[in-house]
Structure 1
Amino acid sequence: MVLRLSLFVVLAALAGAASASSPDAWSAFRAEVRSACLAAARAQGMTNPEVVTHPFGSQSYGIAVLREGDDKRICVFNKATKAVELT
């Protein structure tokens, strides 16, 4: 009985992780990070920066690099609060 319960818990966790990391979910995540980082960069005076978004970010943050000419900035997107900070 304990073995079956343990197996169920492990399989349920794996199923949840797999659905959370579907290609469509990651694509939507990158689009959200890109949009939020672009808005923050434009608010700080960048007009049309190139944006390179990390495909997955870290466990807690989405990360992007913004570049416009010699101006380069790192954007950190908090996955929980949706807050954005630029360096």
Structure 2
Amino acid sequence: MRKHIHPVSRPVVFRDRAAGTAFLTRSTVDTARTVVWEDGALYPLVDVEVSAASHPFFTGGTRVVDTAGRVERFERRYGRRGPSRG
């Protein structure tokens, strides 16, 4: 078997910013941020937007989406156009 062709797998902490939870698992992701975990050891840290702790499918809840802000941002970026002719 060829050596040095696979990425290094190590323990990494993933923190869900929406739910405020974190979990320790193995990953090959590379990050410069670190955090001290519950066992007192220092682990690489990856912040994620959504995990099973905050995703509506797993929580059974709904998530408020700022659609008005998205529309306004789109109109600012691309300008408001008049009615289409056709």
Quickly name the TM-score band, shorter chain normalised: under 0.3
TM-score of the superposed pair, with normalisation by structure 2: 0.25
TM-score of the superposed pair, with normalisation by structure 1: 0.25
Please say which structure displays the higher CA radius of gyration: 2
